[in-house]
Structure formats: structure tokens, C-alpha cells
Chain A
């Protein structure tokens, strides 16, 4: 089956083509076509996964381009990492497709939504199948396009348009770094293919700062896509899109691409310790920084957005400290429980028609399925034993501990505590306590089956998935997906203690504040007002970037536009004006001096004529007299001569 892996992205692509060209001809604008295509891809992915589990490895390439004697051979490959990602992507995408049947029902651009969703899935699948940086980059940009279109789904609203623009542009900034990184890689490795690059690095032909620079530049792309500090600003705004899209973007596709890129080109990173350190520290800073903002957000989707940023930071740390398996495993588990949380929040929003948690409350009775699945998801995110999040987060902490990155370890522990706090806060504000908005509460209802069934499936997975990389399964996942050689970190009581302590403290504090009101929220805010304001404003990054980059670029553009119009074109027009002036002066000289001489002679004759013509009186008799006199004079002369 693994040989058919190339079909996996083709199916959704075909569905995209079909829906966009002929969607209106079938029932439901082709939504079922999309669901069926992704469903088929899911089945195919599982079959491929099983095959790879049995040791199958596939790769195929073809001459995509050639220059002189050299061919650019590019293609696809299936290895454990790819196979895992295929299943994760198709699974989440399939569930989102199904969920959207209910969530997006009756939307103005239902057809367009499903078309782009299919394209999005196809691009992401192409990205994980690519065996080279070029294809990866190509699909990377395509998912950027799709996210632009999906985030801007309700583009009539001005904010939504801006959010879409911001998402594309911010990631584009990272992409430029990535592009330069790809150029550097090709310059040294003479190939875009991961295997060939790894070979060149293994052979030791390429070492030193250029390697580290290439890795860091590639990482710049990941920073943009995975919304890491300092390019994280677009992700919370991307919440302007439909919630189902947020689930897809934040769980399995767009943001996962960055982590996947680091994992896929790990050969480059692992050969450059400086690059790994960069990855780890950027991840660590992001994990803490984003978690702290998530503490104060009022919009339920924004909490989840910052949570995603933070969790991606965890993954980056895992990869950065050498815990390849830990990072990838957290990617997988996070995909499941974050998709669950987003879809559940979508269900809530669907029910109460607001995203502000302060207008919710007490919803657990109204939406039991949503509540229970959400609870499982948030417990997984908080890292409560034995849910998926516990195992994957534990792995990352263990890797950090093993690598003896003390500072990073404490950063992550604090971030984990904050994580437990903010997600508990969100749960309590949404589902517990008294309804704060009666009207919305009355209106609230459980979502239809197309929406709840995906929730239940994801919740089940969030419970069991963690065991794939636990002592109970003999760390099966670590023996399946690894870099270089399988590595199972030894369990350490110290790590286990702090991992557990972090969620106990986080959950406990949140319950004290929001559950029982034992600690006054108001008092905390009043005492820490500067911090609170800073967090509320997201450390002012949006304002800073707007001021420096947006305003700066636009101002620069205005200056260039002015320069072009006034200076460059001015020079041209001045040259034209000067030439015209010169020609006019030449014309005057020609007219007055040269032509003057010619005209002067003519004028002389003219003046002479004017005098002489006086003789011509017009009186016939004077002429006759003249004639007569002439004859007489002539005769006299004749006679005398």
C-alpha cells in the first residue's frame, strides 16, 4: 500500500478541483465530495501507516527541472515520520470536514469553504510527503495561501481582511529567511533532497558557521509558520476565521508545519549545536510568554490560540534539546487534544453565539457532550495523568532534564503551571458557575451529531493516545519515529514530581480563584495592575510591529513613490524640458540669425520693389506717354548715335 502514498494528497486535490469547478451541480455544493475524498485519504493513510509499521519505506522521484548537465530530481518519500503525520493530518482534517457539515451549514460561501478546505488538506499532505526542501517550501506557501483564504472567509468585515493579510505577511517574513536558508543548503549540498543533504552533512564536507546559519534561517520559516516568538502575532488574529478552520490550522496543519520542518531537516539542525540552542530557547521563551498572555484573554478562542503558541514552544524545546521523538510525539498528541478543544469551543460558540467567556457560564448542563469532551481535552492540555498531554509533556521535560538545560527546565515547569491555570480558568468560566448572560444561556443548545461525533472520537483519542509512548507500551512510539537511533529517556522521579506539581498547582489555583472565589480576582488584578495591563495588551507586540514594520514599510513605500514621481521622473522631465528649451533656443537662433540672412536679401528686393512699383500708376495714358517718350528718346539716340 505504501507505494500508493502519492494518491493521498491527490484525492483532496481532485476534490478541490471538482468542488471549485462543478460543486454547484451536486447536492450540498460538493461538501460530501470533500468529506469522501479526505475520508478515502484517511483510510489510505492508515493503510500506509500499517505498511510502514511493517518496515516498508517508499521514495520516488523524477526530473522536475534540469540545468545544463544537472538534473533536479524531486519526489516524495514515506518513512515513519511522514506516515505518522499523514494519519494525523488526514484524521484531523476528516473530522473537521465532518464537523463543518454542521458548523458551517448555511454559510454564504459554503462551496468555497469546502473547496479551500480540500486544497488546504491536499497541500498539507503534499508537504509531509515531500522528500525535498523545494516541494516542502512550495506546499508550505500553498498552506499559507489557504490559511489566508480561510482566515479571510468572512472578508466583508474589515478586521477579518486585516487578520488574513497579517497571517500571510507575517509568515512570509519567516519564509524569506527560510528561502535564504534553502539557497544556502543548496549551495553547499547541491541538492534539495533531505537524504542527499543528510549525506553531505554526514560526510563532513559541510561544517562551520554556514551550516548553523542555514539551520537558523530554515528555523526562521518555522518561527513564522508555527507562530513562535517574535513572529507569533498573526496567530491570535487568525481566530477571525471560522472556528473549524482554527481547529485545522492550530492542530494539525499550518502551525504543525513549522515543527515538522525542523523535524524533517533535523540532520541540518543536529549538526549545528548553535542552531539547536536557538530552537530550544526560542521555543522556551515562546512557551512561557504565550502562556502568560493566555491567562488574561477573555475570548475563548484567543485563550486557545495563545495556548497553541505556547504548546508549539514546548515542541520546539523538545526538538531543540535533542528530544526528537518527544517533540514529534507532543505534536501528535497536541494535534488531537487541541483540535478537540477548538471544535468544542466552536460547539460552544455555535450554541451561545459569543466568544467572550464572561458572557458564558454554567453551560455544562446545557451542552453535556461538549462539556465532557472539552473537559477531557483541557485535562490533556494541562497534563493530567494518564491523558495524552501528560505523557508527551513529560517526555519533553525529561529530554530537557537529560540535556541538563536547567534554565529551560524551570521555564517549562512555570509554563506548564500557567497552562494548567489558564485552561482550568477557561473551563470554569465557560461551563461552571452561574450563567452571566441569561439570554444567551437560554438560547444555548447542544450541537448536532455531525459536530459532537468528531468531539467524542477526538476525546477518546486524547485519552488513549498517550499510552503509545509510555512504559505500558514499551515506548513503542520512540522505537518507531526517531532520528538516527531510537532513544528512550529514563524516567526520573524529579521530573515526574515537577510535572505533576505543575498541573496540581495550576489547576488548584484556578479553582481557588474562579471556582470558589477564595482568592479575589479583583484583588489580584489590582495588586498586579502593571503586569495585568502588559498581559492584556499582549506585551504591546502588535502595536510595536504595526508602528515599526507596517507603518515603516508603508512610509518607505510612500517615500519611494514620491522619489520616483518627483526625483527620477523629475530628472527625466527636466531632461525633456531642458531639451525642449535648448531646441527652442536653437530654433530662435535659426530663425533670427541664419534664416535672417536669407530673409534679409529677400527683404532688400522687396523694399526695392516697393519703391519701383510706384511707377505703375495704373493710368493707361501714363503708360502710353512713357512708351511714346521711350520711342522718341530711342529714335533720338539712334539718330545721334
Chain B
């Protein structure tokens, strides 16, 4: 029941908000904030009862939905989805706070934000293919309107591009879902049951994995399916881009963790090289493309492409580790190889979490804090912000260093584990990807040099960061530091589920 409550509370809140007076702008944002806070509180309240040592599904709830074809309302969380729920709750609250000063059609905006929350929570708890697909598609609608109505100058182009792009991906995924259902022959759409019981032949796994791969890769986004992202991020209002970067991208990689890998291990094996290659291309290419940008927000958007490459690299490495372990007889060596894979997978999850904190912070700073003051996103037109707005400038520097993987901050931990865990499986590729770190450092520092250092325009003067903006930034910063200093904190929840997935991939 808890999960159902969390999922549908925002939707209920959105319905209630329809009855609130349209003229009173204040009441809508407050209502949305309250509803999101309650949802977040319930998510955090699950921390106590959540059994970290249990790798299986918890808080499970199941009800028949369309019994004739085996569709059920089945929700539950495990160590992979629970952290995502926390991030979702947190970033949702902060995104609403960040959108506090939306200046037109407030009622609709906050209603859509609440609907979006339902969809995000739903994707992370759904354990039925149809339910998952439903929430997956539901993500698009509010985001489409949020970008299309409250976005920047090219918002309509961006919204349509985003919508169609992801819709094409999910259409292919739907084919995969139906094929999986029919081929499994279990008469159920249950994700867990199919992953555990179905016996797919490798040929089918290849095609099914491909279908899901395309669906998820668009969302991640992996090169070359990424071009919707810069446009959508740049045009979206700040709250939208925070959720887009922080949560929506993760639904793609989450899909790999939840569906594609556990259900089609042999498919993953067949695609591991392609996936690793595309990941490394994403890492390098995203970093280089980010360096080329003059628009600060676009730079951050491309850096998302680069960082999500780490997640998919870790996933590919898990499959790679399994492949390495196949031909080995020595049990110790197998254990070591699987431990590598487990490290890579944990690293990938860690990057998801960490990027789910860092990218909203960056988008908030760039799209809201700086933009509200300077009214530009062009780096060439900025400068000297360290002096002009010292606190905001320092937070931006903090976020940039977190994003470039400075140790002590969460970005480093995930990237490091992903690298170390992936290295045995894809040595050359990992070394090439490591070169991308120099480029990553390069564009972040160059950005800081252009935006924060120097003298800037003489006549400019801005007020420094205000209380609301601090309230958005500080929780993210605290978590970034915490997760960067002591990773066992998150790993205690992640690792049991991830390691079980690793064993499942290894056929044990």
C-alpha cells in the first residue's frame, strides 16, 4: 500500500489542484510543494522498514488488473529502485522550489509537475510490463507540456522532438514487450516472474534485447540517439530540466537494470561490445561536444550525455565480466571476475545516483540562479561571478568540480568504481574513456575561467543567492559530499540487489 500511496498521491494532488482558484498563484505552488513533501516523507519513511540486506523485492503489492491476458497491478522496490525513489522525491521537491517564480499559467504548471511525479515514481516501482509501459509513456505527456508551454524560444521544436524521439523508442520497446510476453508463454506480464522462469533461446534474446536496447538507449541517451537532449534541456524551464536530467534520463538506465539485463542475459552478452563502444563514444563525444558549446546550459546538457555513458559502460562491463568467467574453471578466478562485474554494476548505479544529484544542481544554478541575474546563458557574456556573487559562484564551482569527478564528491566514486570494475573486461576502451576525463576537466575549468574568474562587465551587479535558492542547493550539496566521502552508505542498499543481478547474469 505504501508504494501505491506514493505513486498516486501526486496525481490526486494534481486533481485537487484543479479545484483551486486559478487567480491565486501562491496557493498552487504551495499545494504542489506540500504534496511533494508528503510523498518524499513517505519515501524516506520507508528507510527504516526497508531491509537493506534483502536483495529481493520488498513492499510488494499485487492485484489483478486485466486477468484475461495476465496483466496485473504489481509494484515493489528493491535495492536498485529504492535509491531512485529517494532521488525522485528529493529532486521533485527541489524542482518545485526552483520553479517558484514561474510567471504564467501557474496552476497548469504545478499540476503537470505533480502528474510527472506520479509517472516517475510509477516507472521505478512498476513490476509489470504493461504497468511499466503505461508509466513510461505517461512521463512524456507532462514533460511535453512543461517544455512546450513554459520553455524557451525554441520550445515547440524541442518539445516535439523530445516527444517523438522517445515515442519511437518506446514503440519499438512495446514490440519487445509483446514478443516477450508471447514467447515466454507464461500468460503473465509480470517482470519478475518472466525474468525468473522464462527460458528464451539466444536468438530470441538477441532480438528482444535489441528492441529494449533501442527503447532505453533513446532515453539514456546513448550516442547517437542523444540529440533530443540538448534541445530539450536548453529549452525546458529550470524545474523541467532538473527533473529531465536528474530523473528521466535514469529511467533509461534503470530499464536496463530492471528489465533488459535480468531477462535477457544472453542478449546482453551479444550486445556488450556494441554497448561498451557506444558508451565510450558517448563519454568522449559528449565531453568534446560540451567543450564546443558557448551556451552554458547546453554544455551541461552534453555533459549529461558524457556521464550517462559511464552508467552504460558499467552495465556492459557486467556482461563482459560474465563472458570472461564463462571459459574459466578456477572458482577463485570466477569469483574475482564476477566481483569486477559487481563493482562495475555498483559503480553504474552509483553514477546514476550521483548524477541524479549533481545535474539538477547544475541545471538549477545555470538555468535559474545565473539566468535570473544575468539574463543570458552565453558564457562569453558572463565573467567575474566569483567576485560579484561569491556564494552562488562558489556553489557553481562546487557543482562543476563534483561533475568533473573530484574525489570527496559523489561523482568520483561512481566513475572510479565503474572504471576499475570495467577495466578487466574492456581494457582499451576504458583507457580511451579515461582520456575523456581530461577533456571533462578541461571544459569545466574553462567554463569556470570564463564565468567565475576574470573581471566581467564592470557595470553589472547582482544580489547574491537568496534563501530559496540556498534551500534548493544545500540538500543536494550535502548529499553529494556525503556520498562522496562514505560510499558504503549507499552501497549498503545498492549492493545486495546489484550483486544478485550479477549472479543472475553469471547464471548462478
Contact = CB atoms under 8 A, between A and B. Distances in A.
Question: In their complex, do chains A and B touch, with some C-beta pair under 8 Å?
Answer: yes
Interface of A: 63-70, 134, 137-142, 145, 148, 152, 155-156, 158, 160-162, 164-165, 168-169, 172-173, 175-176, 179-180, 182-184, 186-187, 190, 553-554, 556-558, 560-562, 564, 568-569, 571-572, 576
B454 A155 contact: yes
Given A68-B499, A69-B335, A176 B438 contact: yes
Contacts of B384: 156
A557 B339 contact: no
A142 B406 contact: yes
B369 to A, nearest CB: 19
Given A155-B452, A179-B419, A561-B288, A553 B439 contact: yes
B386 A183 contact: no
Contacts of B486: 64
B491 interface: yes
B398 to A, nearest CB: 10
A187 B420 CA distance: 8
A148 B417 contact: no
Nearest to B503: A68
B53 interface: no
Given A67-B499, A161-B453, A169-B441, A141 B423 contact: no
B452 to A, nearest CB: 7
Nearest to A188: B424
Interface residues of B, number: 65
B328 interface: no
B407 A68 contact: no
Shortest beta-carbon contacts, A-B, top 3: A561-B292, A138-B407, A557-B291
A569 B224 CA distance: 9
Contacts of A572: 161, 165, 227-228
Residue from B407, B443, B486 whose CB has the most chain A CB atoms within 10 Å: B407
Contact of B488 (A65, A70, A165, A571): A65
Contacts of A180: 423, 430-431, 434
Interface in B434-454: 434-435, 437-439, 441-443, 445-446, 449, 452-454
A162 B343 CA distance: 37
Given A172-B438, A183-B430, A69 B227 contact: no
Contacts of A576: 161, 164
Given A169-B442, A172-B438, A141 B412 contact: yes
Nearest to A123: B408
B288 A560 contact: yes
Contacts of B434: 176, 179-180
B439 A67 contact: no
Contacts of A562: 292
A67 B339 contact: yes
B387 interface: yes
A142 B408 contact: yes
B310 interface: no
B208 to A, nearest CB: 24
B467 to A, nearest CB: 16
B401 A145 contact: yes
A145 B228 CA distance: 34
Contacts of B424: 187
Interface string B405-425: 011100011001101110110
Interface string B441-484: 11101100100111100000000000000000000000000000
Given A172-B441, A183-B430, A66 B495 contact: yes
Given A142-B406, A142-B407, A560 B453 contact: no
Given A155-B453, A190-B336, A576-B164, A564 B445 contact: no
Contacts of A569: 227
B331 to A, nearest CB: 12
13 contacts: A65-B417, A65-B488, A68-B342, A138-B408, A155-B452, A155-B453, A155-B454, A156-B454, A161-B454, A164-B449, A165-B449, A172-B442, A569-B227
B109 interface: no
B346 interface: yes
B338 interface: yes
B502 A68 contact: yes
Most interface-central of B285, B335, B343, B346 (chain A CB within 10 A): B343
B425 to A, nearest CB: 10
B343 A67 contact: yes
A142 B419 CA distance: 19
Contacts of B452: 155
Contact of A176 (B223, B228, B230, B435): B435
Interface in B281-321: 285, 288-293
A176 B434 CA distance: 6
Nearest to A158: B454
B70 interface: no
A603 to B, nearest CB: 37
Contacts of A186: 420, 423
B495 A68 contact: yes
B407 A139 contact: yes
B487 interface: yes
Interface string B490-508: 0100010011001100000
A175 B228 CA distance: 33
B423 A68 contact: no
A138 B417 CA distance: 13
A23 to B, nearest CB: 13
A173 B434 CA distance: 10
A175 B443 CA distance: 17
Given A155-B454, A162-B449, A558 B292 contact: yes
Contacts of A561: 288-289, 291-293
B441 to A, nearest CB: 5
Given A69-B339, A180-B434, A183-B423, A568 B487 contact: no
Nearest to B421: A67
B308 to A, nearest CB: 15
Contacts of A65: 413, 417, 487-488, 491
Contact of B442 (A63, A137, A156, A553): A553
B408 A156 contact: no
A171 to B, nearest CB: 10
Given A69-B339, A176-B434, A134 B453 contact: no
A182 B420 contact: yes
Contacts of A168: 441, 445
B164 A138 contact: no
Nearest to A550: B442
